Structures are given as structure tokens and as C-alpha cells.
Amino acid sequence: MTLELKNLCNTYTDESGQDTVAALSNITLTVRAGEFLAVIGPSGCGKTTMLRIIAGLEQPTAGEVFINGEQLAEPWSRVGFVFQEYALFPWRTVSENVEFGLELKNIPKQERRRMALEYINQFGMGGFENKYPKELSGGMKQRVAIARTLITNPSIILMDEPFGSLDSQTRNALQEFLRDVWQTSQKTIIFITHNIDEAVFLSHRVIGFSRRPGTIKFSLDINIPEPRDRTGSEFNRCRKQILDFLQQESRADK
């Protein structure tokens, strides 16, 4: 699955039509099949907007999205979205949350349940299938959110700061978990984060957005062999390059 964005621009206009916010400017980007791409950039620079456009949830003001060479015209069912905030249904159990996408595909109840249990066990949550989201820790909720996305077998997974609200230990554990999931599934993943360490640990390439309206100003290929050592010299070199870019970008504003 190859994803191409061509000259994407997006400007939001309020209901009165008077007030506009330019969120994205001229984004051109190709993401190859199986690539893990991390996106960093200042708050409000249009990162979530870009994901919403890729998922077909938002129409860009200008520009085009191509998936496997075909232009995206409407919300695309093969995109999985893991949102910035936990987006579990509080009234559904863990299993019912994980089964949600399968219900939309009309998969029979027994089969749904069987598949959900497989994911729940694989995600280290066996025994919690009948619990409700409020009974789970933050890390567990995010594992349910990822399971709920993966079970529908999307071709591309969009992750919007999925680990942003977790403590650093849980976050590191989930990064390792996601890396293992990615290594077995070989999905194409676009992963937004404000965390430099996370971007270097997980991705093949990191791109950096400018301040709003977001445009791509920075790109770094990460060629560190797996398993990645967070304290290695190459890891630190990448970390520093990204930090320098973000610092430059925040100075550019002043």
C-alpha cells in the first residue's frame, strides 16, 4: 500500500465565513508500503489535520491523496485510526470494544468473539475481556485501542500521539509492544508524536513540520539496526538532529 499526498493545503473557515485558520500548506509526501513514518512538529501545526485528510474525514482545501495510485474520494475503510485521546466506548467491555470494527463488517457474533479473544490474549490482556474501560490503566486502554484498530486488518494505520498521556515506563513498554506488532504485521504506519526518543526508537523516517500552516521542513532517515539501543551513539546523533530542528523552528517564531 503506497500513500501519496500531493500539494495538500487546508484552511479552516468558521461558520460565519469570516475567520480562517491556515492549518496545512503544500504537503507533498510519499509513504511506501510497510514504512513506519514518524511526524513531529509544534502544537497546532496541522498534524492531526493531515491524518484526518488521509483517512478521508476531512476534505482538503487543495491537493490530492492517492492510495495505491488511486485518488481518495471518500472515507477509506482500510485506514485504521488510533486517536489522540482514548477513544474507547465506555459502555462497552474490552471485548465489545475490540469487536466493534468486525460488527461493522457484519462478522457473526461467535467469530467476532473468537477473534477478539485472540487479540486480547496476544496483547497481554487475557482475563480482562469483560472489564469496562474505566477499570483499566492508561496503558491497557491504549492496547485495547490498538487491538480494536488492528483486528480490522487495515492497510494503513494512523496513530495520533497514542502514548501521549502515559508515564514514561508504560510508554517505553508500549513502544516495544508496537514495534513487535509492526514487525509481525508489516503495516504502513504514520505516527504523530511530540516525543523525540519515541520517533527515533520506532520509525524508518522522521519528518518535521514547520509552525502553522504546517509544511514539511525536515526529514531524517533512521537506519539504526534492530533492536535499537536508546543509549547508542547513532541513536543520540538522530535525537540531536531532531532536537536542533525543533529548537530552530521555535526560534523562527520569535
Ligand X SMILES: Nc1ncnc2c1ncn2[C@@H]1O[C@H](COP(=O)(O)OP(=O)(O)OP(=O)(O)O)[C@@H](O)[C@H]1O
Interface ranges with Mg ion (CB under 5 A): 48
Long-range contacts of 233-236 (CB under 8 A, 24+ apart): 235/200, 235/201
Comparing CB distances to ligand X, the nearer of 21 and 117 is 21
User: Quick check: 252 and 45 in contact, CB under 8 A?
Assistant: no
Q: At its nearest, how many Å lie between ligand X and the CB of residue 28?
A: 18
Which residue's CB is nearer to ligand X, number 99 or number 161?
161
For the chain, the first-to-last Cα distance in angstroms comes to 40
Please report, for residues 9, 11, 31, 173, the alpha-carbon distance to residue 58 in angstroms, rounded to integers and kept in the order given. Answer: 11, 11, 19, 33
Of 104 and 243, the one with the shorter C-beta distance to ligand X is: 243
Q: Which is nearer to ligand X, 12 or 76 (CB)?
A: 12
Look at residue 45 and give the partner it binds from Mg ion, ligand X, none, a contact being a CB closer than 5 to 8 Å depending on partner kind. Answer: ligand X
Q: Shortest gap between Cβ of 53 and ligand X (angstroms)?
A: 10
The helix-helix angle for 138-150 and 94-104 (nearest 10°) equals: 20
Residue 56, judged by CB atoms within 10 A of its CB (0-12, 13-18, 19+), counts as: middle
CB of 41 to Mg ion, least distance (A): 10
Closest residue to Mg ion using C-beta atoms? 48
State the binding partner of 46 from Mg ion, ligand X, none, CB within 5 to 8 A by kind.
ligand X
